[in-house]
Amino acid sequence: MKIAILIPCYNEELTVEKVVTDFRKYRADADIYVYDNNSKDKTYELAVKSGAIVKRESKQGKGNVVKSMFRDIDADVYVLVDGDDTYPAEEVQKLIDPVINDNVDMVIGDRLSNGTYFSENKRGFHGFGNNLVKGLINKLFRSDVKDIMTGYRAYSKRFVKCMPIMSDGFQIETEMTIFSLVYGMNIKEVPITYRDRPEGSESKLNTFSDGLKVLVTLFDLFKNYRPFLFFGIISFIFGLVGLIVGLPVITEFIQTAFITKIPSAVLAASLCIISFILFLVGVILDSIKNQTQILFQMHVNEFMRNKK
């Protein structure tokens, strides 16, 4: 059983050595990879010194780093963890076991359920953003995932080699979670302990700009993965506004057999036509999405046959 520990890093000279050392202590048999993402400090040199397998990724952004890791590295179990020493290496086996024993595709290290994230994290808006994204995803995709943005996860080979990563930045966690929900991947959450960054180490996640990117990605994925509901909602809004605008016109016509509110009549008719077009767009895209899911499942089945 080949296990790979994947550590994407950008300016983590204060912690990268400790992270590598800790994971080697608790999984001495694992291959530990550090991908340096254009760090301006000594992250690369210290990662090499720690004995990890170190590579550089020139395209900036965590999503780009993870994409390269998934493409380059071959293993049976993949553990993805941030290089900031906020996630405990001593709990890594809790994430690995479900992949090996229970055929789980993605194990999520849940920081929120035991409360350590809220007591340790000093950036209040990060917690608010986590809860906002979690609530939206659970509502839109009818799920009950407790921690969407955690950077501590384990994956099966099937997940890693079948998922098409599109995100380039911190949206990657949102994309992976939604992909798993839509395509019926086996997901399990395990509570983990969280600790804040050591003094002097700064988060690379910008609460507002990266948070906005995550929300944009969320709604883009919602449109792609649930197009009928997405366009159905917009269609309903246009239709409702068209009905409100057109109601006085209809009332006038019933009472007098004439229409004097020509602009309102044109606007109402236009809104209703747009509503109908949006409804048809949702139906067509939903049909295409269903065909895509069938093709994906065929690809997964072929992958599993080749693996055997």
Instruction: From first to last of the 308 residues of the chain, give the pLDDT tens digit.
Output: 899 999 999 999 999 999 999 999 999 999 999 999 999 999 999 999 999 999 999 999 999 999 999 999 999 999 999 999 999 999 999 999 999 999 999 999 999 887 777 666 656 556 677 788 889 999 999 999 999 989 999 999 999 998 889 888 889 999 999 999 988 899 999 999 998 877 777 776 666 777 788 888 898 989 988 999 999 999 999 999 999 999 999 999 999 988 898 999 999 999 999 999 999 999 999 998 887 777 777 766 676 666 65
Q: How many domains does the chain have?
A: 2
Q: Are residues 38 and 173 in the same domain?
A: yes
Using an 8 Å Cβ cutoff, are 146 and 189 in contact? yes
Rounded distance between C-alpha atoms, residue 279 and residue 229, angstroms: 9
Dihedral sign (CA 221, 149, 179, 81) = positive
304 three-state secondary structure: helix
Domain boundary among 200, 223, 246: 223
Q: Are residues 30 and 157 in the same domain?
A: yes
Q: Are residues 55 and 200 in the same domain?
A: yes
Using an 8 Å Cβ cutoff, are 88 and 15 in contact? no
Give the pTM.
0.83
Domain boundary among 168, 199, 223: 223
Q: Are residues 294 and 176 in the same domain?
A: no
Strands 77-80 and 153-156: antiparallel
Q: Of 20, 153, 6, which Cα lies nearest the Cα of 69?
A: 6
Q: Are residues 200 and 253 in the same domain?
A: no
Using an 8 Å Cβ cutoff, are 196 and 150 in contact? no
Domain boundary among 192, 223, 254: 223
For 106, how many CA atoms within 13 A lie in the half-sphere containing its CB? 28
**Consecutive H or E run containing 36:** strand 31-36
Q: Are residues 199 and 270 in the same domain?
A: no
Q: Are residues 33 and 153 in the same domain?
A: yes
List the Cα angle 157/159/165 in 5-degree steps: 120
**Containing structural domain, residue 261:** 227-307
pLDDT in tens, 161-184: 988 898 888 899 999 999 999 888
Q: Are residues 79 and 138 in the same domain?
A: yes
pLDDT in tens, 102-125: 999 999 999 988 777 766 665 655
Using an 8 Å Cβ cutoff, are 271 and 241 in contact? yes
Q: Are residues 51 and 127 in the same domain?
A: yes
